[in-house]
Amino acid sequence: MQFKQALAALAGLVFAASAHTQAAWPAKAVTLVVPFAAGGPTDVVARTLAASMSKTLGQTVVVENKLGAGGTVAAGSVAKSPPDGYTFFIHHNGMATSTALYRKLSYDPLNDFEFVSQAVDVPMTMLARKDFPAANLQEMVAYIKANKDKINVATAGLGAVSQLCGMLFQRAIGVQLTEVPFQGTAPAMNALLGGQVDVLCDQTTQTIPQIKAGNVKLYGVTTKNRIKSLPNAPTLAEQGLKDFEVVVWHGIYAPKGTPKPIIERMNAAVRAALKDPDVAKRMEDLGAEIVPDSKLSPEGLQSWLKSEIDKWGPIIKAGGKFAD
């Protein structure tokens, strides 16, 4: 009896301690890991959200860029981080596509993370360097086909959406080009601006300013329909690349075991950020669309990730491109 009472008292103490930790959370800065280079599209979304979330949480949300292997280095590192509520992770479609692209991953996207929320969807744009000798998509494709040994495509590595889009584009036009991997599309864009690479498919969150400044050539958007932020840009599908569609979605995760009350507070902070007029304006200017409420729950992200793994797996495997 005495033993049982002692056990109950101990359990009470543990519960009180953990409730106290959670009530006090966040007691210090919270890290949001970005799996690509600073200044790129994932980083832009992360920093825009982090600035607003810092206000809601009363502590700074610090963005940390952890680079390598198309986002899989960061995902593996976050999966092994302590589930104490101070490490979070933002990633896009790569969380799903990497399961098909890599023979072995050091983490399981569906079982090694807690799910916080989705945030924004972002269209992609098919670009070439400014002096690329083609005025429209038809000419671009013809030029690539005639010069396929000389043309290269910049990507942010296997697992990046730039690589996914580039791969689908090559498949759609029936060529295989040299892919040049960078640690994010920020350095890839610099290479495109400098004329060291020829083609880049990248998100509007990075490309709109360069397109508007006339620093790159735009050949179309990867969405099903034309987009508000680039109303004159035709879709790739309407120009003959039948059913070509890539939309980038973003999810926020935490290491498995992060306490539920913390996940709920983080979820509320993401929702508040997406309602912040400064965030909404910045996202709109960059062509990003805030996702509907149904995608903002942890369960919404979890089931979305599962459906994306199921969707992309067979498409990627059909291309036969794998890494160890």
Applying CB under 6 A, the residues found at the interface with ligand MLT are 36-37, 40-42, 94, 156, 160-162, 184-186, 203
Q: Which residue is nearest to ligand MLT (CB)?
A: 40
Nearer to ligand MLT by Cβ, of 125 and 203: the residue is 203
In whole angstroms, give the CA distance from residue 61 to residue 63: 6
Nearer to ligand MLT by Cβ, of 165 and 254: the residue is 165
Count the alpha carbons within 13 Å of 4 in the hemisphere toward its beta carbon: 1
169 token code pair:
């584009």
Nearer to ligand MLT by Cβ, of 50 and 57: the residue is 50
Which residues are paired to 44 by β-bridges? none
Nearer to ligand MLT by Cβ, of 57 and 67: the residue is 67
Reduced to 3 states (helix: H, G, I; strand: E, B; else coil), residue 201 is strand
Q: How far is the CB of 138 from ligand MLT (least distance, A)?
A: 25
Nearer to ligand MLT by Cβ, of 35 and 85: the residue is 35
DSSP codes joined into one string, 228-297: TTSTTPPBTGGGT-TT---EEEEEEEEETT--HHHHHHHHHHHHHHHH-HHHHHHHHHTT-EEPPGGGSS
Q: How far is the CB of 37 from ligand MLT (least distance, A)?
A: 5
> Do 248 and 168 meet the contact criterion of CB atoms below 8 Å apart?
no
Q: How far is the CB of 11 from ligand MLT (least distance, A)?
A: 45
Q: How far is the CB of 101 from ligand MLT (least distance, A)?
A: 12
Q: How far is the CB of 113 from ligand MLT (least distance, A)?
A: 18
